[in-house]
Amino acid sequence: MKPIVFFNNKGGVGKTSLVYHLSWMFADLGVKVIAADLDPQANLTSMFFDDDKVEKLWHTGSPGWTVYGAVEPIMKGTGDITAPDVEDIDDNLGLVPGDLDLSRFEDKLSDAWFRCLSRDAAEAAFRCFSSFHRILVSATEQRGADLVLIDVGPNLGAINRAAIISAQHVVIPLSPDLYSLQGLRNLGPQLRNWRDDWNTRLNYKPDDLDLPEGLMDPAGYVVLQHTSRLDRPTRAYERWALRIPNEYRQSVLDSDADENVSPRDDPHCLSMLKHYRSLMPMAMEARKPIFHLQPADGAIGSHMEAVLNCKQDFQDLAVKIAEKCGIELPVV
C-alpha cells in the first residue's frame, strides 16, 4: 500500500479538487486507487456523489459505509474498527466516503496520542490512533489497490495528525500568496515534530498491531495558479510564487535556501497547474473530472481544447508523483 496525503493547513488552495482529479487520472493510467476522504467536511465525497447518495450513506448505510462508521466501535468503546465499505467509482477507483460525524473523533484521537506513552493503556491507545491506517489497509485489500490518495482538512488537529502519520508521502498544494507561504512555515516544522513524536511512541507499541511507519516524506508541492497569461502567473501573484521554492526548502525540508531557483525550475515543484475555473462548474454538474468532459456535457470549441490541456497537465503531474513516490504506472 502506498498512501499519499495532500495537505496544507491553509484552506482554499484546491486540495480536494486535486485529490479528486488525480484519483481519476491514476485510475485512467491503470493504477488501482483508493480515494480516502478523511476530512470531516467530506468535500471529496460530495465531488463524487450527489446529495441524495451522500444522505443515503450517512443515514441509511451499514456501519462501515463511511469512515466514521468504520471507527464508530472505537468511538463508543464497544470494539475495534469495522472494515469499510469501499464505494465503487470505476474499475480502478474506489472511495472511502467521508462523514461530518468524523469531527466527533477528534477528542478520542487527541487522548489516544498521549496515552500511547503509557504502557498500561498503550494497546487501546494505539488501536485508536492507528484506526485510519488500518481502515486504509482494509480498503486496499478489498480492492486489490496499490495506491491511496488521502484528503484531509486544513488544520493541524488530532484527526489530521492521525491521517498524515498514516501516509508514506505528503504532497503540499499551494496558492501563490502570502497565506500559503505562512502555511509552509507552520506545517514543515509540525511534520518533523509529528515524525519524531511518533517514533518515540513506537517504543511502546504492542507487538501484534499493524501500525504506520510515520514516514510522511515530503514528495513536493503543487502550485495552483489563480489565473495565468501566456502560461505565466499574473504579476500580482508571481512575486509570491517566486518565494515558494526557498520557503519549501527551509520550512519543509529544513535545508538551505537557493536564491536563484524559481518554481518552474525547482525539482521539488511537481506542477504549476492552470486554473480551469470555467470548466469546473461543468465538471461538477456532470460528476466527472474536467478531463472526462465531452461535447454532450457542454465542452465545445475552446472548452474542448482546455479539456485536452487539462488531461495532459494532470497526466504529467501523475507521472511526476509516481516517479517521486515509487509508483509503477501500467499505462503512460
Beta bridge pairs of residue 233 = 228
Whether pLDDT at 245 is above 90: yes
Q: pLDDT, tens digit, for every residue of 121-175? A: 789 999 999 999 999 999 999 999 999 999 999 999 999 999 999 999 999 999 9
Copy the grid coordinates of residue 258: 537557493
pLDDT of residue 299: 87
317 and 273 in contact (C-beta within 8 Å)? yes
The residue that leads in pLDDT, 132 or 65, is 132
Whether pLDDT at 246 is above 70: yes
Q: Read off the DSSP letter of residue 102.
A: G
Average pLDDT (296-313) is 90
Percent of the chain with pLDDT over 90: 76
Any idea what the Cα angle at residue 317 is, between residues 2 and 266, rounded to 5°? Answer: 105
Q: What is the DSSP string of 54-89?
A: HHHHHHTS-TTSSHHHHHHHHHHTSSSPPPP-PEEE
Whether pLDDT at 230 is above 70: no
Average pLDDT (44-51) is 95
Q: pLDDT, tens digit, for every residue of 250-285? A: 999 999 877 778 899 999 999 999 877 778 889 999
Average pLDDT (74-94) is 95
pLDDT of residue 332: 66
Other Cβ atoms less than 10 A from the Cβ of 308: the count is 11
Average pLDDT (81-95) is 96
Percent of the chain with pLDDT over 70: 95
Phi, then psi, of 327 in degrees rounded to 5: -105, 130
- What are the helix and strand counts (H, E) for the chain? 13, 10
Phi, then psi, of 125 in degrees rounded to 5: -65, -45
The residue that leads in pLDDT, 258 or 28, is 28
**Domains of the chain, each with CATH number or no CATH:** 2-276+310-325 (3.40.50.300)
Average pLDDT (24-33) is 97
Q: What is the DSSP string of 192-259?
A: HHHHHHHHHHGGG--TTS-------EEEEEEEE-S-EETTEE-HHHHHHHTTHHHHIIIIIS-----T
pLDDT of residue 47: 96
Which residues make Cβ contacts (< 8 Å) with residue 141, sequence separation at least 6?
A: none
